[in-house]
Amino acid sequence: MRTLKLLSIILITTISAFILRSILFKIIVPDICAFHNNLETPGFIFNILYELPSWNNHHPVATITNELFTFLVGITLGVFIHKKFSSFLSKQQ
């Protein structure tokens, strides 16, 4: 039972991290080509979370800061969802 609980926490955490990363990218980078066409200038939050490398034709790529932020918030969100979901299931039984 403990293994199942650990696996469910890992699964929920991973899913929430991927969803968070996707949402964060859509909010901060609405158009990936706007930066290398000089239509937009990157702001402070963009510079912290993304970089524009030449090997990717100056399209935004996540930095280590973005990965750590997404990982930590994903873990927090996943554990929170798991606790709420498991308490809901225990009330049902």
* Stronger pLDDT, 86 or 52, i.e. the higher one: 52
Percentage above 90 pLDDT, the chain? 2
Residue with tokens 């225990």: 90
Q: What does the mean pLDDT of the chain come to?
A: 81
The whole model's pTM is what?
0.69
Determine the Cα–Cα distance for residues 77 and 65; give it in Å rounded to an integer. 18
How buried is 72 (Cβ within 10 angstroms: 0-12 exposed, 13-18 middle, 19+ buried)? exposed
Number of CB atoms found within 10 A of residue 16's CB: 21
Determine the Cα–Cα distance for residues 40 and 5; give it in Å rounded to an integer. 45
Going from N- to C-terminal start, the domains of the chain cover: 2-92
Does residue 26 register a pLDDT over 70?
A: yes
Which range scores top for mean pLDDT: 53-57, 59-63, 75-79, 86-90? 59-63
Determine the Cα–Cα distance for residues 19 and 48; give it in Å rounded to an integer. 20
